[in-house]
Amino acid sequence: MHISDGIVNLPISAVFGVVAVAWIALCLFRARRDLDDRLAPMAGLVAAFIFAVQMLNFPVLPGVSGHLLGGALAVILVGPWVGALCVATVLLVQALLFADGGLSALGLNVTNMAIITTLVAYGVVAVALRVLPRNRLGIVVASFLAATVSVVVASQGFVLEYALGGEVDKALGPISATMAGVHLLIGIGEGLITATTVATVAAVRPDLVYALRRYQQKPLLITSGSNA
């Protein structure tokens, strides 16, 4: 989903750059309350994993690539604030060292992949865990839904940005449909990977899963018994 330079004009890119900087500043402020000896190492591992999976790219549209995003996994394991910082850090490194996504489009990419994915994933998980049973199966299903939905919604973030400042004259309907269709498939794949990863971590060290600790006042059942 990386956007290259020139796909969206500079004024709109600058606007979303300001949005990205403002949100990351808020994340830095809020993340200070979450980071501890347990969360900091996990954040490093999450960022490394996201970096690895995002390096596997394939073209979707001219100048736009598709890949796994990792926002939902970051939210579930390290929370929305630290999770957004993990994804944004990966995007910055990719843009500077690997030219994966243009520098002028960095704000667009951060908005789509670090902000939209984490916000949507966090909302889906929060709603899902109010409906689903609060056990290991519940968090696994919530992880799959969060990853799938967040990837599709993030793809439409690009469509909005292109509608506001696209430099190439193309119909928005086909672009939206193409992005949604391709990223639905990506989202399902990411959902399976996210759910599997969360299930593994929750089975071994549930204390390392932010989404589980978030509901510590109403503990999630993570045993492998009849509720698993």
Structure confidence by residue, pLDDT tens digits, 163-221: 998 866 677 888 889 889 888 988 888 899 899 999 999 888 888 888 887 754 444 44
**Which pLDDT tens digit goes with each residue over 113-171?**
999 999 999 999 999 988 988 778 889 999 999 999 999 999 999 999 999 988 666 77
Give start and end residues of each alpha helix (H) in 32-135. Answer: 39-54, 71-78, 80-98, 106-110, 117-131
**Which pLDDT tens digit goes with each residue over 11-61?**
999 999 999 999 999 999 999 887 877 788 899 999 998 988 777 766 655
Residue 159 burial (CB count, 10 A): 18
Give the C-alpha separation, 187 to 144, whole Å.
9
Residue pair 117/154 in contact (Cβ under 8 Å)? The answer is: yes
Residue 56, φ and ψ in degrees, nearest 5: -90, 95
User: Which residues, other chains included, contact 131 with Cβ-Cβ below 8 Å and sequence gap of 6+?
Assistant: none
Residue pair 101/175 in contact (Cβ under 8 Å)? The answer is: no
- Torsion of Cα atoms, 154 then 158 then 163 then 169, to 10°: -140
